[in-house]
Amino acid sequence: MKLVIGITGSTGVIYGIRMLETLKKLNVETHLVMSEWAEKCISMETEHTIDYVKSLATDISDEKNMASSVSSGTHRIDGMIVAPCSMKTLSAIANGYDDTLVARSAGVTIKESRKLILMVRETPLSAIHLENMLKLSRLGVVILPPVTEFYTKPKSIDDIINHGVGKCLDQFDIDHNLSPRWGTAWVNVPKFFLEQVSTAKRKPVFDILSNFKNYQKLLPQHFPSVRIRSVRETTSVVEEHIILGGKELVIMAKHVIDEPWLHEIFVIGGDAKGSYIKQQILDHSKGCKILVDVDLKLSGMMKLSGLFNTAKFKENYAKILDDFIKIAEN
């Protein structure tokens, strides 16, 4: 799947950034077009740099480049999301005024009968705004303002952002675990962080932690089965069976290695789809320091539902990390 992502100069640019971050994790190709004021809003509203946001996209076009591939209907895409969508951009799209590449690409998406999602951001709405939305809605455009839901009891701004992004992805039938759905419960497993110091040097610790091909051989009690599905330069897709608390998770994970200090794991399928683990191995006066960020996504439909709390998950993961470190130290 390939989507055009437009980010325009309206408050809420974090929605577009989170969209790109999520789609990258899900291996969905993206073509990014940002307006001049979108870049200014990124600087005003977030801690992210423009270069970071651009790095999340597969392809990028300048908003003034009307010769870009996405300005033509012959360029095959599956749809477009504008997040956030300013009222100026909404008006341009509704009235066929293709003065920027965002508006032109949206117009092409409409004329080619592809799905267009507009995450409109404004309040209160004038009659002009509403008439523009109605005109586009009658053409099949999805008007999707990021309205906060409270039945999931969001605990952070991230929860609110994730829900809005998830609603957009649902429109394209893209599976995700960004937020709980009505009628399902989630295991309460938020993000957690681990930090350990090892007497071993950085390289052997990194080699052990990133040697997923030998996980089963090194720690069969934790990894009863590991199968390599594909290898491409520094990225590998691996099917893994992991034992946590006496229960077995089956996941499909994408391992990305940035030697000699970073190992990222993106869970792209299975029991914990959408999870993300970042392992950093840094030099330390005693040997090396291991930093692990874990963001688990577990739905209530899983067989593990109700069996764990946050402390239990952290304890189980810490035990696996300890066993890896002992191997490196020995």
pLDDT in tens, 201-254: 988 899 888 888 889 999 999 999 999 999 988 899 999 998 876 678 888 999
Q: What is the CATH number of domain 2-171?
A: 3.40.50.1950
What interhelical angle do 157-171 and 13-25 show, nearest 10?
60
Give the dihedral sign, CA 137/140/141/146.
positive
Query: How many C-beta neighbours within 10 Å does residue 130 have?
Result: 11
pLDDT in tens, 45-66: 998 999 999 999 999 999 999 9
| Cα 322 to Cα 209: distance, rounded to the nearest angstrom | 11
Of 196-205, 236-245, 298-307, give the lowest mean pLDDT range: 298-307
Query: How many C-beta neighbours within 10 Å does residue 14 have?
Result: 23
Q: Mark 215-241 as b/e (b = at least 16 C-beta within 10 Å).
A: bbebbeebbeebeeeeeeeeebbbebb
| Cα 88 to Cα 203: distance, rounded to the nearest angstrom | 53
For residue 301, the model assigns a pLDDT of 42
- Spell out the domain ranges in the chain: 2-171, 192-329
Check if the beta carbon of residue 160 is closer than 8 Å to that of residue 154. Answer: yes
Q: Which CATH superfamily is domain 192-329 in?
A: START domain (3.30.530.20)
User: Parallel, antiparallel, or unpaired for β 247-258 and 262-270?
Assistant: antiparallel
pLDDT in tens, 124-171: 999 999 999 999 999 999 999 999 888 777 878 888 999 999 999 999
pLDDT in tens, 160-189: 999 999 999 999 999 887 887 776 655 555
Quote the tokens at residue 321. 């990390």
